[in-house]
Amino acid sequence: MGLNLLEIIELQLPSFFNNFDPRAAAANFPSGVQAYLAGLTFALAASPCSTPVLATLLGYVAASKDPVIGGSLLLTYTTGYVAPLLLAASFAGALQSLLSFRKFSAWINPMSGALLLGGGIYTLLDRLFPVTMA
């Protein structure tokens, strides 16, 4: 990924729907259905990240058998899970002004690529030549 971000190696991700425009397809649905489909898409994308945390939390809550602690932990998890969405929705109107900063974002991909490549090289060298503290 680091080499791809640095544009040294070009990785082509598979694309199964080349001519599909979801905005045109969603225009035929009522706004409530559009909102539901957007939420469903987000849920499918976020599920691999959030499911292990939620499963662990539910297991802990079930084992603790304390409804107050369980409820507060689940409320805290839910608040942390939803807060970025609410924040993004609150500032969606300011998105146009943020687009003016696009000219300054040319360094993001090379910097991310360098960090990924450096981290990968460091991890590889650490595995091959472990440093032992005596």
The reported pLDDT for the residue numbered 28 is 80
* Tens digit of each residue's pLDDT (9 = 90 or more) over 77-88: 999 988 987 888
Is the pTM higher than 0.85? no
From the list 87, 14, 85, 90, the residue with the least C-alpha distance to 50 is 85
> Can you list the residues of the chain whose pLDDT is less than 70?
17, 20, 22-23, 25-26, 95-96, 134
> How large a percentage of the chain has pLDDT more than 90?
31
Report the C-alpha gap between 79 and 56 in whole angstroms. Answer: 17
Whether the Cβ atoms of residue 8 and residue 119 lie closer than 8 Å to each other: no
Model pLDDT, residue 70:
92
Round to whole Å and give the CA distance between 89 and 83: 10
So where are the chain's domains? 49-84
